[in-house]
Structure 1
Amino acid sequence: MLETTLLFIVIVPLVYGQVDTPKATEDVVIRMGNYLTRISKDTFVISVSRGEELIFETGRPGDAATSLEFSRDEKPQHVTKLTRVEKNGNTYILSYDTTHKDVVARVELQAEENVLHVKSWILDGSASPTPNAAVRLAPSGDWFGGGFQGWRDPLVLPVNDAHIRKKWFLADGNTQGTPFWYSTKGVGVWIRTPFDFKYSVNEEASGKRDGLLRIEMPNSSELRYDILLDSDLNVLLRRIIKEIGYPAKTPPADYFRLPIYTTWVEHKTEVSQQKVIEYANNIHNNKLPCGVIEIDDRWENHYGDTEFDSAKFPDPKAMVSTLHGLGYKVTLWVHPFVNPDSRTFRDHQDDGLLMRDHSGKLMLTRWWNGPATIWDVSNPKASAEFRRRLHDLQSQYGFDGFKFDGADVNFMGTDAVPLNNITNAQYSDVYNKEATAQFIYNETRVGVYSQPLGIVQRLIDKHSVWTNMNGLQSLIPEAILSSVRGFQYLMPDMVGGNQYDNDKIDKELIIRWAQASALMPLLQFSWGPWHFDREAIDRAREASELHIEFAPYIFELATRARTTGEPILAPLWYHAPKDSDTYRIVDEYMVGGDVVVAPVVTKEASSRDVYLPAGHWRDYNTGESLQGGKWLRGYSAPLNRLPLFVRDSSPLIQQLKIKAGN
């Protein structure tokens, strides 16, 4: 199912609407149910209307870019006029001249009631132009979706307000990234070519932002995409997620209920058996709820051998036994990399288990721990050997599961030759299928179409800063984007961030971060609140206890997602798609349809404005009944309070410890 989603678009005869008889001297007009699509005869412009309203349009003459532009003879070139239209059933093949006499463009269109499938080529016998498209943002309302916006770049929503310089969609994302965008007018653009691609949003042109989403497909001669049409955001997203597939299974209830503590920020690569035990004792002695201790990077003697460094971990079995005795599950960080100094690298030169390059030698890439090759997980024998090693770690030492890292698109080099024909854009999904999904306690960080696997997806490493530059203010918008993309079993990154590049976690930041994460599906800590004072410990414990209190509701939503595809975590607009006041709210989120969470994400703030969707709500902190569909201005939120609201008609009202006043 996964590979089919990536590789094919099924050609289905049109059974809806009518199509005007096409002529090359006229615009091509296609009637699709409630929609009318027009393809221009002069240049290549697609426009879609619902009734009298224009709801979608690609770049047109006068914009900074149009679709199917290219460079030839060191000059910019573009499509000029339509020269031929062929109709084969409900597929339309359009031929265009260009400004270069030796180059033509070809477009294939297939229309259904609420989707237009588009394939496009720039045909040049002496060069390989990059197929591309430009979409005008303004006609479709506010846009959302896409992938991770940047390691140190601001995350801005709606996408109309963002300025994203040209980058690789997956390779520069390093996290979950299903390639579709969607708008408040119920329009979606879904890239179907199964390769990574370059894109930009609002590039600078003549001193101003160009108002375009631009797509370039350098690794393929064809650019394939769908233009999806529906009544609103919610209906459109449900349709997309249904096509991708609902999660086939749900992780254990205790994984959702109890926080995870990982050694990464606390010890980085200096982790050792003694430090793990001390870390666990600090958690236990401070009475901090915890279900899983996760041992992160640098437990191996050599990357790829899956063997403990005996100097740092003299008795891993005893360590795991001690942690189990404290009531904790134990998971271990693993990855697909095999470094050249490992025995595995030396022993598997010729058996096809490790990724090869075009010369037949082992492919080399570079990851954050040096040069390496990777397991060729497209080879069933390689996947089986990788899993065998992990099962051996479980049977020998007692580990309960694994944190799967790596498998990013950019680590499968352009010269990689996998045994089976997968692209680098598909590697992470195959890795997740063959490895991550095979273990009950799992966690991964990458995926394009891994949603049906029902695995836990962690957001990319966050910086220990307040801003939307991959800090606390980016946590909620990134989480809701990933969640409505179908990654329901979402783990926000570690509370407080990772302390990279001289960033430092302070007391206020770790408290507000814990509150912001408290009602997300899974909750993960690393830097211990005991590094500050008793208040920090108490606030972390309160956030954990709040998470536990809502865990039955969250797990109910997690289980329900297997049959409905509904997100656990969602932006306000998902549950109120016609309420335009919700479109630009990026610092609140909903849990199911009955809970609104409005964390404080601004340094030194003790109040904030809160928007509640239409309906009757109960303030969790005071018990006060409130009318929705409007703003609560200046809502009091001192350091010990998370603004939290429950729908008055929800069964949760009877189950929760809502404060006095109810």
Structure 2
Amino acid sequence: MKSICSRLGLFLILFLGAMYKTTGQETAISIEKNEKWLGGVVNEAHLMPLEEGYNFDLFGNTGTNQAVPLLISTKGKFIWSEEPFRFTIKNNQIIISNRGEAITVDSLGKNLRDAYLNASKRFFPSKGQLPDTLLFTRPQYNTWIELIYNQNQKDIIDYARSIIDNGFPPGVLMIDDNWADYYGRFDFRADRFSDAVGMVDTLHQMGFKVMLWISPFISPDTEVFRELQAKKYLLYDGSSEKNWTDADKPVIVNWWNGYSAVMDFTNPEAEKWFHDRLEHMVKTYHLDGFKLDAGDADFYPINALSFKPATPNEHSRLWGNIGKYYPLNEYRAMWKMGGEPLVQRLRDKKHNWEDLQKLIPHITVAGLLGYQFTCPDMIGGGEFGSFIGKDNLDEDLVVRSASCSALMPMMQFSVAPWRVLSEDNLKAVKKMVALRQKYVPYIMDLARQSAENGEPIVRTMEYEFPYQGMAEIKDQFMLGDKYLVAPVVTKENKRKIQLPKGVWKSDEGETFRGPKIIEENVPIDRLPVFELMNKG
């Protein structure tokens, strides 16, 4: 037996080695005819499958969203490294450039599904745990677009009451940024929250669970900053000192809200301090969980000194560890951490059709990188700058955004539909919420299965139907292996739908035999869904 295993191991080395060649710190992997590659960066997924000339450097860069050192192919191959690398598509090759770390290239699969499952089982196996199931079973509501930086007790309660008064079910309510006096101060600011405990208790009585926005930043020249500096719980400037022991100048980084110091989670004592502050918020204010924002790798300077040496990417990953304490969690930026019970959200999208069209490729590629519990961005868009100066939003866009999210793992509101929509369009959005409730048992079954086996909840067409010419489809997806979902993501009220082989029954009761391309006129209050009745 030992001899057979040794020969098999040698065969695998030779087999895989024949696929690529390494020169210095570059590895070139040949791209076969009709082979398509995806992966690496969620926020670039609308550009996938990757084309000639594409390149991206993962070192210190998570692409403002989630990233993983994984590329997978429609012909069953995957490329993995424990550390970030640069990849370039050139002359029918993938050129991997790194800093000398090991690169794994595996060709044992036959299709995209094989490639993903082989990689996930080996490098980021599912942990058998789910985030809080309320995130799946009810809509989420985020106060960001309605309140921006004016988070305050009165308007938060009013927003929650409006949700119920307008016929929407209570679910998770997220209080966004600027609830504290400064970053690092873990108490509600008294000028905007006269009774924060009473506010949270009232939200609970209304049927909501409550999450609070946090980040790894600390406002400089504050009492908390000075405490953390004295304890050496921050990242330090490595431009003048060569070692952490002698460093005394904290790094100050520029992020979207100004300049801040950054927590050093390579230090177990710093992580404990931060976790203790979160526990203080939970126990004092009766909170249920946290929205953990920022944590992008590019906010961690390359020359920063930390308790333990770490790359910017590793610092980003360590921020992900904080969320494991709380089943009710959400992240917008992440490095690795596939298979964990952590909720990811697609980065803020603008209020336009171009960004709506990114939702499907982004969330399906997230699933191919191990991020199964992913929420699309806020319905209608979450990038607040695109709302400035717009007295009238594109109502069709808001409704189609709701329908696009309805059968994804989660759906999240922020802009209040009842404020910006006509009566008819508001009814259409509420119809999408009701439609989702019909599929919630199936979505939960998929989520539980995913927690055990790692399979994506929402899947690219190529994942379920390999070698049927579907690798380029970016405007429809599979919910598990049973339902084909084809939202309208353009201003037109019609679309083409590509049905794979099999017998399909539409949400309107019509039966089709694939492969077949059909064109549908889709009213604003309809989400086309096709059930696979027979795969043969």
TM-score of the alignment, normalized to the shorter chain, above 0.5: yes
Structure 2 equivalent of residue 354 of structure 1: 234
Give yes or no for contact 1:200–1:215 (8 Å, CA) kept in 2.
yes
Structure 1 equivalent of residue 357 of structure 2: 473
- Rounded Cα–Cα distance in structure 2 between residues aligned with 1:584 and 1:452: 26
Give yes or no for contact 1:557–1:592 (8 Å, CA) kept in 2.
yes
Matches within 5 A, 1:215-294: 215-217=96-98, 220=99, 222-229=100-107, 230-243=109-122, 244-294=124-174
Deviations along 1:349-393, one digit per CA (max 9) or x if unpaired, are 121222233331222222211221222112111111111111111
User: Cα 1:491–1:149, aligned 2, differ >3 Å: closer, same or farther?
Assistant: closer
User: Cα 1:30–1:570, aligned 2, differ >3 Å: closer, same or farther?
Assistant: closer
User: Cα 1:172–1:557, aligned 2, differ >3 Å: closer, same or farther?
Assistant: closer
CA drift at 1:215:
3.7
Letter in 2 for 1:644: V
Give yes or no for contact 2:42–2:366 (8 Å, CA) kept in 1.
no
- Rounded Cα–Cα distance in structure 2 between residues aligned with 1:268 and 1:628: 47
- Root mean square deviation, CA, Å: 2.4
- Rounded Cα–Cα distance in structure 1 between residues aligned with 2:425 and 2:463: 34
SS at match of 1:538: helix
Give yes or no for contact 2:58–2:69 (8 Å, CA) kept in 1.
no
CA drift at 1:159:
1.2
Give yes or no for contact 1:598–1:643 (8 Å, CA) kept in 2.
yes
Higher strand share: 1
435, 448, 456: which one aligns with 2:335: 448
SS at match of 1:371: strand
SS at match of 2:71: strand
- Rounded Cα–Cα distance in structure 1 between residues aligned with 2:195 and 2:260: 28
Higher helix share: 2
1:145 aligns with 2:39: yes
368, 373, 386: which one aligns with 1:484: 368
- Rounded Cα–Cα distance in structure 1 between residues aligned with 2:13 and 2:215: 49
315, 318, 339: which one aligns with 1:430: 318
CA drift at 1:31:
4.2
- Please report the TM-score for the alignment, with normalisation by the length of structure 1: 0.74
631, 637, 640: which one aligns with 2:522: 637
Note the residue ranges of structure 1 that are not aligned, 5 or more in a row.
Answer: 1-12, 20-28, 39-47, 49-56, 59-106, 108-119, 122-130, 203-209, 651-662
132, 139, 142: which one aligns with 2:26: 132
Give yes or no for contact 2:62–2:334 (8 Å, CA) kept in 1.
no
Structure 2 equivalent of residue 191 of structure 1: 81
CA drift at 1:606:
1.4
- Rounded Cα–Cα distance in structure 2 between residues aligned with 1:253 and 1:548: 13
263, 273, 295: which one aligns with 2:175: 295
Structure 2 equivalent of residue 69 of structure 1: none
CA drift at 1:316:
0.9
Tell me the percent identity. Answer: 31
CA drift at 1:437:
1.0
Letter in 2 for 1:559: R
Give yes or no for contact 2:380–2:402 (8 Å, CA) kept in 1.
yes
Letter in 1 for 2:36: D
User: Cα 1:30–1:298, aligned 2, differ >3 Å: closer, same or farther?
Assistant: closer
Deviations along 1:429-455, one digit per CA (max 9) or x if unpaired, are 22222x101012111122232123211
Note the residue ranges of structure 2 that are not aligned, 5 or more in a row.
Answer: 242-246
Structure 1 equivalent of residue 244 of structure 2: none
Structure 2 equivalent of residue 654 of structure 1: none
Deviations along 1:459-489, one digit per CA (max 9) or x if unpaired, are 111111111xxx1111100100001211111
1:515 aligns with 2:403: yes
Structure 2 equivalent of residue 528 of structure 1: 416
1:617 aligns with 2:504: yes
Give yes or no for contact 2:432–2:525 (8 Å, CA) kept in 1.
no
Letter in 2 for 1:557: L
Provide the aligned length of Structure 1 versus Structure 2. 516
Matches within 5 A, 1:66-85: none
SS at match of 2:159: helix
Letter in 2 for 1:346: R
Give yes or no for contact 2:483–2:531 (8 Å, CA) kept in 1.
yes
Deviations along 1:308-358, one digit per CA (max 9) or x if unpaired, are 221122211111122112111111001111110432101121212222333
CA drift at 1:246:
0.8
SS at match of 1:608: strand
- Rounded Cα–Cα distance in structure 1 between residues aligned with 2:101 and 2:314: 17
Deviations along 1:584-614, one digit per CA (max 9) or x if unpaired, are 11111111100110000111x1111111222
Structure with bigger RCO (C-alpha 8 Å, 6+ apart): 2
Matches within 5 A, 1:203-602: 212-217=93-98, 220=99, 222-229=100-107, 230-243=109-122, 244-358=124-238, 359=241, 360-361=247-248, 362-433=250-321, 435-467=322-354, 471-502=355-386, 505-530=393-418, 531-580=420-469, 582-602=470-490
- Rounded Cα–Cα distance in structure 2 between residues aligned with 1:323 and 1:305: 23
User: Cα 1:499–1:30, aligned 2, differ >3 Å: closer, same or farther?
Assistant: closer
Give yes or no for contact 2:55–2:86 (8 Å, CA) kept in 1.
no
- Rounded Cα–Cα distance in structure 2 between residues aligned with 1:567 and 1:499: 26
User: Cα 1:212–1:496, aligned 2, differ >3 Å: closer, same or farther?
Assistant: farther
- Rounded Cα–Cα distance in structure 1 between residues aligned with 2:429 and 2:308: 47
- Rounded Cα–Cα distance in structure 1 between residues aligned with 2:149 and 2:94: 40
SS at match of 2:404: helix
Structure 2 equivalent of residue 83 of structure 1: none
CA drift at 1:169:
5.7
Letter in 2 for 1:636: N
SS at match of 2:348: coil
User: Cα 1:14–1:462, aligned 2, differ >3 Å: closer, same or farther?
Assistant: farther
- Rounded Cα–Cα distance in structure 1 between residues aligned with 2:43 and 2:175: 29
1:16 aligns with 2:15: no
Deviations along 1:63-109, one digit per CA (max 9) or x if unpaired, are xxxxxxxxxxxxxxxxxxxxxxxxxxxxxxxxxxxxxxxxxxxx5xx
- Please report the TM-score for the alignment, with normalisation by the length of structure 2: 0.90
